[in-house]
């Protein structure tokens, strides 16, 4: 018996030598610049879920030598990244793809991005907002060109607030008071909805409270989601839910849009790119909305948060990285391109100093003639940019989302869900072969 065991262990130990020898994980093909003959047209493929076709058309008109084909993919984790990871593994990736900031460490983990420093990306640095640029820098090398971010603000219905006698809340305490007033006077309306399906939103709330969920110490990832600051945020929303001051429903879903359209929801703590969603899905509420800065935890503070943000990445395996980088830089900094991108709601530009005089810089009838982007300019400046993302964000947030769902069904509290999320994040990092530990 013993002998058999030893033999089996021996043959099992020999397996790696037979099977996995030298095989690398991740991208099946590495980026290499193909040589092009003079006058030869270069063709690039670009994957994005933002409807940027007009911008791409403009590029194709002005750059006859480099033609870009835009292909629309499902947004983020609804299929987009699945597709990208499969294409990397299969060795047929697009040249350029839209990747959110919080996904970049995950792509780094599978060696899925092209080192752009090799192709002169460092010289482009000054064209961008520094913190957005830093999102794509790992170990001092540039891996992606930033596209846009999502500074947050408080979208609210001026008319409903006036009807119910609510001042625009400037602190979270006032926000809660406002929620109680809406519940009392609103005839079934609520101030806003808590969306258990949006861990990225919840992370933004903790970000504003100056919690930091992930940090690194030497070569170890340290996860800290149960800290006092995050707990405070969790307890706050716990109370809002338990006291029935908010709807509990997925945002950007049909039920939520229905509530927005019918004035049952009077506010949304949302990102700048949310303007396009309100405009597109509740056109009948035009003119009634306003934007204010995020409520603060302590009066007089000026902390803001970010939700979302994307970069234009050159995936590992492209044959035209030089041209792809040229395209990625142009699409995010050329004034006409930026204006076209703004018109389709791509977010808050990463290009430095393009706000003044751009399509963002004008009064908007949907927001009652408010120059609402002035608010987001201020919000953008107040974002603490030291926030870091873990390379397993997709899995972490999926599990956090499940934990929120279970907590709200009565099994647990939101703070308990955060503790679960912390544990599963550490597990996820370890499962990927990384060094990780809990902060407490």
Partner 1 sequence: MSTTSNRTTTSAPGGRRSARPDRAAWGFLLPFVALFLFTFVLPLGYAVYQSLLTPVRSGPLGLGPATLGFAGLDNYTLALRQSAFLESFARVLLFGLVQIPVMLLLSTGLALALDTLSHRWAGIMRAAYFLPYGVPGVIASILWGFLYVPGVSPVVELLGKAGLAPDFLGYDNVLWSIANIVIWEFAGYNMLVIVAQLKAIPQELYEAARIDGASPWQTAIRIKLPLARPALVLTGVFSIIGTLQLFAEPLVIKPLTSTVTNSYTPNLSAYNEAFANNNIYLAAAESVLLALVASVLSFGFLSLVNRKERDAR
92 contacts partner 1 (rule: CB under 8 A): no
432 contacts partner 1 (rule: CB under 8 A): yes
The minimum distance between CB 81 and partner 1, in angstroms, equals 7
Q: Between 51 and 405, whose beta carbon lies closer to partner 1?
A: 405
Exposed, middle or buried: residue 370 (CB in 10 Å: 0-12, 13-18, 19+)? middle
Q: What is the C-alpha separation between 426 and 180, in angstroms, rounded?
A: 38
> Taking a C-beta distance cutoff of 8 angstroms, is the pair 266, 155 a contact?
no
Exposed, middle or buried: residue 411 (CB in 10 Å: 0-12, 13-18, 19+)? exposed
Q: Between 69 and 411, whose beta carbon lies closer to partner 1?
A: 411
DSSP 172-214: HHHHHHHHHHHHHHSTT-BS-EE-TT-HHHHHHHHHHTT--SE
Q: What is the C-alpha separation between 428 and 420, in angstroms, rounded?
A: 12
232 contacts partner 1 (rule: CB under 8 A): no
Q: Which stretch binds partner 1 (CB under 8 A): 81-89, 145-153, 230-238, 284-292?
A: 81-89
33 contacts partner 1 (rule: CB under 8 A): no
Question: Which residues 253-312 are close enough to bind partner 1 by CB under 8 A?
Answer: 253-255, 258-259
386 contacts partner 1 (rule: CB under 8 A): no
DSSP state of 171: B
The minimum distance between CB 295 and partner 1, in angstroms, equals 24
Convert residues 171-200 into a mask of x (bound to partner 1 by CB under 8 A) and - (unbound).
-------------------------xx---
Exposed, middle or buried: residue 147 (CB in 10 Å: 0-12, 13-18, 19+)? buried
Q: What is the C-alpha separation between 288 and 299, in angstroms, rounded?
A: 27
Among 330, 376, 389, 404, binds partner 1 (CB under 8 A): 404
* Torsion, Cα of 201, 202, 203, 205 (10° steps): 90
Q: Which stretch binds partner 1 (CB under 8 A): 83-91, 184-192, 318-326, 348-356?
A: 83-91
Q: Between 8 and 299, whose beta carbon lies closer to partner 1?
A: 8
81 contacts partner 1 (rule: CB under 8 A): yes
Q: What is the C-alpha separation between 100 and 322, in angstroms, rounded?
A: 22
Among 54, 60, 134, 138, binds partner 1 (CB under 8 A): 138
Question: Footprint of partner 1 on this chain (CB under 8 A)?
Answer: 12-13, 15-16, 19-20, 22-26, 77, 81-82, 85-86, 89, 105-106, 108-111, 138-139, 196-197, 216, 219, 221, 248, 250, 253-255, 258-259, 391-392, 394-395, 398-399, 401-402, 404-406, 408-410, 428, 431-435
């Amino acid at each position: 018996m013993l002998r058999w065991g030893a033999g089996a262990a021996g043959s099992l130990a020999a397996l790696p030598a037979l099977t996995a020898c030298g095989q690398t994980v991740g991208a099946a093909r590495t980026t290499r610049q193909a040589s092009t003959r003079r006058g030869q047209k270069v063709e690039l493929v670009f994957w994005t879920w933002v409807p940027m076709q007009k911008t791409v058309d403009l590029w194709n008109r002005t750059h006859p030598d480099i033609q870009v084909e835009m292909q629309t993919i499902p947004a983020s984790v609804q299929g987009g990244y699945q597709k990208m990871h499969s294409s990397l593994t299969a060795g047929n990736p697009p040249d350029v793809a839209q990747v959110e900031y919080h996904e970049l460490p995950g792509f780094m983990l599978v060696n899925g991005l092209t080192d752009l420093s090799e192709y002169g990306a460092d010289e482009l640095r000054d064209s961008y907002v520094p913190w957005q640029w830093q999102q794509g820098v790992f170990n001092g090398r540039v891996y992606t060109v930033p596209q846009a971010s999502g500074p947050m603000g408080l979208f609210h219905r001026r008319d409903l607030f006036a009807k119910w006698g609510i001042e625009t809340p400037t602190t979270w305490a006032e926000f809660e008071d406002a929620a109680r007033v809406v519940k009392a006077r609103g005839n079934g309306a609520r101030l806003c909805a808590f969306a258990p399906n949006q861990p990225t939103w919840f992370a933004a709330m903790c970000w504003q409270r100056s919690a930091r969920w992930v940090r690194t110490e030497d070569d170890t990832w340290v996860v800290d989601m149960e800290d006092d600051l995050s707990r405070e945020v969790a307890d706050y929303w716990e109370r809002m839910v338990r006291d029935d001051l908010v709807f509990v429903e997925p945002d950007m879903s049909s039920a939520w849009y229905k509530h927005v359209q019918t004035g049952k929801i009077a506010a949304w703590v949302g990102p700048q790119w949310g303007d396009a969603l309100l405009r597109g899905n509740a056109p009948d509420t035009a003119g009634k909305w306003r934007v204010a800065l995020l409520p603060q935890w302590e009066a007089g503070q000026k902390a803001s948060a970010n939700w979302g943000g994307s970069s234009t990445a050159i995936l590992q395996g492209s044959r035209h990285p030089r041209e792809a980088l040229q395209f990625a830089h142009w699409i995010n900094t050329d004034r006409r391109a930026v204006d076209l991108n703004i018109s389709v709601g791509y977010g808050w530009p990463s290009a430095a100093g393009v706000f003044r005089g751009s399509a963002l810089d004008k009064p908007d009838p949907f927001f009652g003639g408010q120059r609402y982007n002035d608010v987001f300019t201020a919000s953008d400046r107040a974002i603490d940019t030291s926030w870091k993302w873990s390379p397993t964000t997709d899995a972490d947030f999926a599990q956090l989302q499940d934990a929120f769902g279970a907590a709200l069904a009565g099994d647990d509290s939101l703070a308990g869900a955060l503790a679960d999320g912390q544990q599963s994040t550490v597990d996820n990092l370890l499962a990927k072969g990384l060094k990780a530990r809990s902060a407490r």
